[in-house]
Amino acid sequence: MSVYNHIIRVGFSRPKKCGISSFLIRKWIGEEYSHVFIRFNLGIGDQKSDVVFHAAHGMVHFKSFKNFKDENVVVKEYLVAVSDEELSAISDHCIDLAGDKYGYVELIKIALSDMSYSLFKRQITFKNSRGYICSELVGEVLSSLGMKFDKPLNLLSPKNIEDALIQDGYTADGHFTDQ
């Protein structure tokens, strides 16, 4: 039996200076946010930092939560309890992915897939390209914890991530409910 004594946060945000891409994503998914990220404490002993791990600005990277908040509005966060082993695996995986490229082409694929489903009730799937977008990155982390998604990770939107969290019984205030 695992002991869940750590918390990672799955956060949803938008930039303070709204660009066209954030505006379009928010309109497309119908939410106040355009971005999803993972936040957790990284470090050893008392030397831990609250860091954001995400795909943005051309690459997958870590950023201090303080600096992240200087540029972004955090709309909501979901608290996910993890064991020592899960946190270690997530941390190692995040470190391995840091520096990978941003998957700009994935955004076009998601839009085409969603439009196809809306118009024809048929979902088009595409081969996963090299690089990550924010929702694919977070989906990969959550998938490693057993969360299921109804489409390939490279076609997830931030809204799909939130829907999966809600389906698994999480609420934005961090309380878990049995649904």
Where do the domains of the chain lie? 6-167
For position 151, what pLDDT does the model report?
82
Largest CA distance in the chain: 54
pLDDT at 14: 95
CA 31, 33, 35, 39 dihedral sign is negative
What's the Cα-to-Cα distance from 170 to each of 84, 128, 173, 179, rounded to whole Å?
A: 20, 28, 8, 9
On whether the CB atoms of residues 151 and 128 are closer than 8 A, the answer is no
C-alpha span between 101 and 105 (Å, rounded): 11
- Taking domain 6-167, whether its CATH number is 3.40.50 is answered by no
Query: Which pLDDT tens digits describe the chain residue by residue (179 residues)?
Result: 577 788 999 999 999 997 888 898 899 889 999 999 999 987 666 667 889 999 888 889 999 999 999 999 999 999 999 999 999 999 999 999 888 887 666 556 555 555 555 555 656 554 555 678 899 899 999 999 999 998 888 778 999 999 999 999 998 875 444 43
Sorted by sequence, the CB contacts under 8 Å of residue 163 that are 6+ apart come out as none
pLDDT at 171: 86
